[in-house]
């Protein structure tokens, strides 16, 4: 179960990264409404998922070394 969550988290993080990059790049050109708030929200979600993945990696590495 945890491996599935980890795999989905990686895909979600990659998708959010792509969407965030598109918003950052296209907002100055198209003037997308509320893009700054969307970018900030996506960045927070990306940080939370990345923290989960790093924590999971650290825990699994520690368990493997013991």
Largest CA distance in the chain: 54
Q: Rounded to an integer, what is the distance from CA 62 to the centroid of its chain?
A: 24
Assessment of whether the complete model's pTM goes beyond 0.75: yes
Mean pLDDT by 10 residues, the chain (66 residues): 91 98 97 97 97 89 72
Q: Looking at the 3D structure of the chain, how many domains does it have?
A: 1
Q: Residue 50 and residue 16: Cα distance in Å, rounded?
A: 11
> What is the per-residue pLDDT for 66?
45
DSSP state of 34: T
Q: Is 39 exposed, middle or buried (0-12, 13-18, 19+ CB in 10 A)?
A: middle
Domain holding 37, by residue range, is 2-65
Tally of CA atoms within 13 A in the half-sphere of 22 that contains its CB: 6
> What is the per-residue pLDDT for 65?
54
């Amino acid at each position: 179960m945890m491996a599935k969550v980890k795999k989905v988290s990686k895909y979600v993080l990659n998708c959010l990264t792509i969407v965030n990059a598109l918003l950052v790049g296209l907002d100055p050109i198209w003037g997308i409404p509320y893009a700054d708030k969307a970018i900030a929200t996506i960045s927070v979600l990306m940080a939370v998922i990345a923290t989960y993945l790093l924590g999971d990696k650290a825990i699994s590495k520690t368990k493997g070394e013991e």
